Amino acid sequence: MDTTIRNADEKINIDHLVHEHVAMASLCSYGTGGEADFLITPNNLGELRAALLWAKERSLPTTILGGGSNVLISDKGVEGLVILTTGLTEHHVRGRIFCTQSGLPLDTAINVAIERSLSGLEPLGGLPGTVGGAVRGNASAGGLWISELIEWVDYLDKDGSFHRYQGMDGGFSYKKSPFTDSESIIYEIAFRLIPNKKTSEARLRKEQSRIERMETGQFDFPSAGCMFKNPHGISAGQLIDEAGLKGRSFGGARVSEHHGNFIVNHDHHASASDIYELSRIVEHEIEKRNKIHLEREVILLGRWNN
Ligand SMILES: Cc1cc2nc3c(=O)[nH]c(=O)nc-3n(C[C@H](O)[C@H](O)[C@H](O)COP(=O)(O)OP(=O)(O)OC[C@H]3O[C@@H](n4cnc5c(N)ncnc54)[C@H](O)[C@@H]3O)c2cc1C
């Protein structure tokens, strides 16, 4: 622990792993956005640390991207180095502890845990994105917050030093984690799960969660899930619905007919700006009608001038 990237990874030359001018649209669920100046997909801790060093030596900002299912990437692209975590997928089970690197898709993680007779994560079945992204935003579904199952999280600060968060340290709340407002990179997560030999029942529960999502139309059009947080326990979707905003469009973006809190890339050709502008219209209308400020849940990545 606490080794610096320079000491640990002096011999790793990652120049050949760094790609320039990479189109980002296919790396996020909205299917929008410009190019990353540079992008790397590290496959192990050494490469991850070397990537941080590479950016630091060039004074470039870094942006972490997991499954891209909770972000809106600017049409003007992302400056500096994007570190895509989806190459970090190693995982193992020891007793009740299921330990995985942060880039594993959450849905795959749930399947693996079930196969190893470990239960608990099933309500999150079908939730898009990586385990790291879910922990960072304290993802929730079916009455479960992912933070409830965390034993520890190993993360790096932007200098590449290693730290461990222990589950009992606290700091998780609605859509928030100890990593939300920091530049930390979640590297590995350990969940404490429940031994369960009834794997077919667990698999069924997980499938039901996934199917419910499909049936409520969540995947009919590209989106990033809920655009806004629920203000003080009030459903943002209900406020938007009651304001008659379902179906409102701007360019190729539309407020979903299924779920008022989803702004979708309706014609599959919306720009990120269309989606952003529509979110501003919704925000403004709710402010005017309900005197409630809606806080955006979807994270803006890249060159936004606001
Ligand atoms: C159809 C649909 C339905 C959804 N339903 C739900 C739902 O029911 N509940 C819910 O909570 N969410 C939901 N979401 C939102 C989204 O799926 C979750 O927030 C998901 O956990 C994001 O994970 P990701 O890997 O895609 O993160 P990304 O979108 O890649 O990133 C999100 C944020 O996390 C940061 N990040 C990602 N990985 C790391 C890491 N390893 N270390 C540090 N920071 C990191 C990124 O920099 C970014 O700021 C839904 C999205 C869609 C498209």
Range of the domain at 65: 5-87
Residue 10: the pLDDT is 53
Q: Is the pLDDT at 90 greater than 50, yes or no?
A: yes
- Whether ligand 1 lies within 6 angstroms of the CB of 127 is answered as yes
- How far apart CA 110 and CA 148 sit, in angstroms, is 15
160-199 burial code (b ≥16 CB/10 A, e <16): bbbeebebeeeebeebebbbeeeebbbbbbbbbbeebeee
For residue 64, the ligand 1 atom closest to its alpha carbon is 47
Cβ-proximal residues to 82 (8 Å cutoff; 6+ apart), any chain: 22, 24, 36, 38, 39, 40, 62, 63, 64, 65
Ligand 1 mean position, distance from CA 119 (Å): 22
Q: Is the pLDDT at 251 greater than 50, yes or no?
A: yes
Q: Number of folded domains in the chain?
A: 3
Q: What is the per-residue pLDDT across 46-60, written as a single tens digit (0 to 9) for each? A: 999 999 999 999 999
CATH number at residue 14: 3.30.43.10
Q: Select from 87, 114, 133 the last residue of a domain.
A: 87
Tally of residues, the chain: 306
Residue 168: the pLDDT is 82
Ligand 1 mean position, distance from CA 203 (Å): 23
- Whether ligand 1 lies within 6 angstroms of the CB of 177 is answered as no
Q: Is the pLDDT at 297 greater than 60, yes or no?
A: yes
Ligand 1 mean position, distance from CA 60 (Å): 24
Q: Is the pLDDT at 65 greater than 50, yes or no?
A: yes
| Alpha-carbon distances of 38 from 80, 102, 107, 182, rounded to whole Å | 6, 21, 28, 21
Residues 121, 140 within the same domain: yes
Q: Is the pLDDT at 66 greater than 80, yes or no?
A: yes
The one-character DSSP state at 132 is: H
For residues 126 and 107, the answer to whether their CB atoms sit within 8 Å is: yes
Average pLDDT over residues 210-229: 95
For residues 103 and 89, the answer to whether their CB atoms sit within 8 Å is: yes
Q: Is the pLDDT at 3 greater than 70, yes or no?
A: no
Q: Is the pLDDT at 5 greater than 70, yes or no?
A: no
Q: What is the per-residue pLDDT across 117-134, written as a single tens digit (0 to 9) for each? A: 999 999 999 999 999 999
